[in-house]
């Protein structure tokens, strides 16, 4: 009975998240084709790029769905974190540190390449959602990873449609620096490298914790603090 209930819950979750992903895809297609929002084509490029990476890894390295999915996630984290660093350093060199984090700049402005980077990352989350649904790489009555991706797709896509808060969302992607080492650890363990005394594992462990503190914990505390500090500057308070 428990196995039957678990299977039923998984099927319902798959149906719900598949339906929401389809609605999202129709929405993006409508915006690109009928509203002539050609700048959103980078979302499609992101989906195609990461799906291609999936096929290459599947046919050349391993056919294990979890290994393939994690490897592509590692690729996304590496590309996104590199893109975010490039965007921030470039903007810092142009406007200076203080001006680039002004409220109006974060809410209404868009740093060079920030829009394209957000679109490309949005495409990854759509690809990853479909891949996890196809191979059932999730668990639970309400799978947290699928819910996470759904919320990101909603937030990212609405911001891209309205051309607002792009820079804020780019700042949240700093956490991908930490995700790089999370995925490296997972791939390493699946590859059979588990010796806790090895230099590689020790270095990865240290870098993992450093990135957790600075790229995930501190960065999100600063973003939240900035939002609260500037709450009165938003049109309707905190958004």
What would the pLDDT profile of 31-79 be if each residue is shown by its tens digit? 999 999 999 999 999 999 999 999 999 999 999 999 999 999 999 999 9
pLDDT the model gives residue 102: 93
Task: Give the domain ranges of the chain.
Answer: 2-173
pLDDT the model gives residue 194: 81
% of the chain with per-residue pLDDT over 70 = 95
Average the pLDDT over each of 30-44, 76-90, 94-108 and give the range with the smallest value.
94-108
pLDDT the model gives residue 193: 82
233 pLDDT band, cuts 50/70/90, is: confident
pLDDT the model gives residue 6: 56
Nearest to 234 by CA among 97, 100, 108, 101: 108
Higher-confidence residue: 27 or 200? 27
Q: Is the pLDDT of residue 4 over 60?
A: no
What integer is the mean pLDDT of 1-5?
48
The model carries a pTM of 0.92
pLDDT the model gives residue 7: 67
CB count, 10 Å around CB of 55? 11
Q: What is the mean pLDDT of the chain?
A: 92
pLDDT the model gives residue 1: 38
What integer is the mean pLDDT of 210-228?
95
């Amino acid at each position: 009975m428990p196995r039957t209930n678990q299977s039923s819950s998984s099927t319902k979750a798959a149906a719900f998240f598949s339906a929401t992903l389809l609605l999202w895809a129709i929405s993006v297609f409508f915006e690109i084709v009928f509203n002539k929002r050609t700048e959103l084509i980078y979302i499609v490029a992101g989906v195609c790029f990461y799906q291609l990476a999936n096929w290459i890894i599947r046919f050349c390295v391993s056919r294990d769905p979890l290994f393939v999915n994690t490897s592509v996630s590692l690729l996304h984290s590496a590309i996104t974190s590199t893109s975010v660093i490039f965007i921030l350093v470039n903007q810092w060199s142009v406007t200076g540190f203080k001006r680039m984090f002004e409220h109006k700049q974060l809410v209404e402005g868009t740093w060079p390449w920030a829009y394209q980077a957000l679109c490309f990352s949005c495409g990854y989350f759509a690809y990853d959602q479909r891949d996890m649904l196809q191979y059932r790489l999730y668990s639970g009555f309400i799978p947290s990873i699928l819910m996470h991706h759904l919320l990101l797709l909603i937030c990212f896509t609405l911001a891209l449609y309205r051309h607002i808060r792009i820079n804020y969302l780019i700042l949240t992607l700093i956490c991908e620096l930490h995700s790089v080492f999370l995925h490296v650890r997972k791939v390493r363990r699946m590859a059979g490298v588990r010796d806790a005394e090895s230099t590689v594992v020790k270095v990865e462990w240290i870098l993992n914790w450093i990135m957790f503190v600075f790229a995930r914990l501190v960065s999100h505390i600063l973003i939240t603090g900035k939002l609260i500090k500037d709450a009165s500057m938003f049109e309707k308070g905190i958004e």
